[in-house]
Amino acid sequence: MAKKKAPAAKTSKKSESDKNGAALQRPAAELLFAEELANLEAASVDQPKPPGWRMSPKNVLAFVLGDEAMGIAPKFVGRRSFMERCIVSLATNRGLMLIGEPGTAKSFLSELLAAAISGDSTLTIQGSAGTTEDNIRYSWNYALLVSEGPSDRSLVPAPLFLGMKYGKLVRFEEITRCPLEIQDVLLSILSDRVMAIPELQDSERMLFAAAGFNVIATANTRDRGVNEMSAALKRRFNFETVSPIADIAQEMELVQRETNRNLERSGVPVALGENITELLVTTFRELRLGKTTDGKGIESLSTVLSTAEAVSTACAAGIHAYYYSDGEVHPHHLVQHLVGTVLKDNPDDLKKVQHYFDHVVKKRKAELWMRFYDARSELC
């Protein structure tokens, strides 16, 4: 009698699903875009590329900005010249510093670059007042340290150690939120590409960076002055400013695409329509810039109404519409969730939005804008 096969297919299918990030709320870029990365890496075989890079600079650019001929979807909106400078910086002996307003996708850009160049975007240091040198370089398993002494086995590597050892990009998020002495841990590493480990013996006392290692740091312009970088550290980075999206059509396309992608991943069968997207993006841009589309001045808000915030607001409106309404996003859903985006720590911002509705939205006679105005009672 033949033995029954073990139900391996079901397990295999599940693990494949997990591998591609289907079961994750927010999979890393190398999981989310695994097929595109594999195709671009294969296409880079005969192209010149820096030592340690998985693909050519040309294909890194195609991955980030998209390439219709290669079937690569755009993921970031930015000038080609800006992106080329960023990619070239990472092939030099200086790090890349991305600065800009909150919500301009600096972190997402650093993730995309790390995924394309190293195949790993997870070597990330999150800067904060509580970040220590152990979080950046390495620490110790104290039980092993006591029983065996300092060794490779008792050493617990942090992102910078792993990036140097395996020749990968390290992401340092919100670097200016770290104390100055913590930031300056990078000084000798970016200069000499070597990390001293004095606890170890002989040749293990020095870790030399493998080809492909570099650092991408991000900082918000609104955080300048929290912990200003030293002049010495600044000299070890090339600075690039990530600007808000200038073209409204590009911003609308991005908001609609990312919102619908996020809703789909959340299991919400709701799609953001073009008219609703235009309503949301126009409102955000006018309140962000402090002027209407026809050039009339209005009061801008202290909070940052970024493209990322627009996506979050649209996602919340879509989920609300699915669970509490007819499954279609209406203007009043946007108004309801606009409040949570606007009202951070300045009560005057809500008054400015109410003023915007009374003096700008009220005068617009298109049906959607009239319904938007009728929902103003939700602004409370």
**70-106: buried (b, 16+ CB within 10 Å) or exposed (e) per residue?**
eebebbbbbeeeebeebbebbbeebbbbbbbbebbbb
Tell me the pLDDT band of 103, cut-offs 50, 70 and 90: confident
| 148-160 tens-digit pLDDT | 999 999 999 999 9
Give which of 286, 306, 305, 283 is closest to 296, Cα–Cα. 286
pLDDT reported for residue 9: 42
Nearest CA to 151 out of 135, 140, 167, 164 is that of 140
Q: Is the pLDDT of residue 58 over 70?
A: yes
pLDDT-based confidence at residue 29 (cuts at 50, 70, 90)? very high
Would you list the DSSP string of 87-129?
Answer: HHHTTTTSEEEEEESTTSSHHHHHHHHHHHHHS----EEE--T
Model confidence at 321, pLDDT cuts 50, 70, 90, reads very high
Residues in contact with 326: Cβ distance below 8 Å, sequence separation at least 6, in sequence order: none
pLDDT of residue 6: 44
Give the span between the Cα atoms of 84 and 81, in whole angstroms.
Answer: 5
- Tell me the sheet residues that pair with 195: 207
At 229 the pLDDT is: 87
- DSSP assignment of 246-280: --HHHHHHHHHHHHHHHHHHTT------HHHHHHH
* pLDDT score, position 42: 96
Q: pLDDT of 237-251, one tens digit each?
A: 999 999 889 899 999
Of 15-29, 168-182, 309-323, give the lowest mean pLDDT range: 15-29
Averaged pLDDT, 161-179: 96
What's the pLDDT score for residue 224?
59
Structure token pair of residue 237: 């980075």
What are the angstrom distances between the C-alpha of 240 and each of 60, 79, 121, 128, 205? Answer: 17, 12, 20, 22, 35
Asked if pLDDT for residue 169 goes beyond 80, the answer is: yes
Contact 111, 137 (CB under 8 A): no
* Average pLDDT score, the chain: 90
